[in-house]
Structure 1
């Protein structure tokens, strides 16, 4: 499987049209009430994870009929349902993982979901949190190329570690050269590409990148 798409139970108004993210190489995974969201979109999950304490008995019956792999957990556990689903996805070694329904709502869940991106740095899959307005990724040291996107014009970089060293931005409206960015800095908020593509690179630390629509 090349892409695994995971749908959690975040606010439905923040979830984009999921049918635009599916093809023959896509595997869908539901997390708790996000499994209902998948079924409502006409998409059948291969796996479903959760304690399913936020759905009705009717919805649970629909999930049990639809999902070939159903993983039910107690509500009291040491990992969130999304964390468990991501662990499964990483074991499948896909080229990319996209997570929907993971922003908005409770702030503790949202912040925890951003931190889950850190798991991907160990195995290097392309993991993204996606909602109607934003795409969020996490990067370790290296050099990366970005394509300009009319739907996600703004690009921001936020340190996840105490600092990011040697940050260089090329092809951006506000370029940087070998810059030291500390935790708490807003220097790299709301930049833009000025060409069809650009690059960013840094030597030390971890960066969160957010691509946003206005």
Structure 2
């Protein structure tokens, strides 16, 4: 099972959602992202939020058309995205893709990156990614990973997250590394590129934010 979550970030950053609407996918709306889904002809399987960014007319439409609408008070400890993501993880999907979570408000974007780090450190097994028109962001815990060249995502950056990274090894890249210590705040691994059709990266300790980007 695949779960796609759509938040209410600027629609200019959201790629065509139909490209990700594979059979068996669940679609989840987060606050205004619910309207984005409906505008794209996709009926959400569930929706989460305080819905303070939608009109009364839109909310009424959500209440009549969405079978699992979870409405919360604006005064709460979790963001709408955290509530939706926590629910999605409990469904034990193979992967979770998040759209509408970049661009616009930087505080929301950073909070979403922190959520990916949180679930990576908790050892959640499913792949969670933030996707927009130019970027694919994921957070990795220690291990070895295989990566393939993509024509639309030329650049690959590796940034330490909340923890320093030890033992970072990059093979098949323009700028290879071997067992390198990369502290938080380092820009050593920004804008790398694959020189082979496939490559690998691995590390032994820390949290690694991996970003695939185009210009």
Q: TM-score, normalised by structure 2?
A: 0.97
Counterparts of 1:28 and 1:66, CA distance in 2? 14
| 1:110 Cα deviation from its structure 2 partner | 0.7
Counterparts of 2:56 and 2:11, CA distance in 1? 20
Provide the residue aligned with 2:27 in structure 1: 28
Counterparts of 2:135 and 2:212, CA distance in 1? 6
Cα deviations by residue, 1:107-144 (Å, 9 ceiling, x for unpaired): 11110000111243222111000011001000011100
Provide the residue aligned with 1:110 in structure 2: 109
Provide the residue aligned with 2:47 in structure 1: 48
The runs of 5 or more residues in structure 2 that have no matched partner are none
Q: Is the 8 A contact 1:120 1:126 kept in 2?
A: no
Root-mean-square deviation over aligned CA pairs: 0.8
Q: Is the 8 A contact 1:164 1:204 kept in 2?
A: yes
How many correspondences in the alignment? 213
Q: Does 1:160 align with 2:161?
A: yes
* Dislocated runs of 4+, deviation >6 Å: none
The runs of 5 or more residues in structure 1 that have no matched partner are none
Counterparts of 1:39 and 1:134, CA distance in 2? 24
Q: Does 1:124 align with 2:125?
A: yes
SS of match in other structure, 1:168: strand
| 1:65 Cα deviation from its structure 2 partner | 2.1
SS of match in other structure, 2:189: coil
| 1:25 Cα deviation from its structure 2 partner | 1.6
Segment of structure 1 superposing worse, 114-123 or 158-167: 114-123
Q: How does 1:72-83 map to 2 (within 5 A)?
A: 72-83=71-82
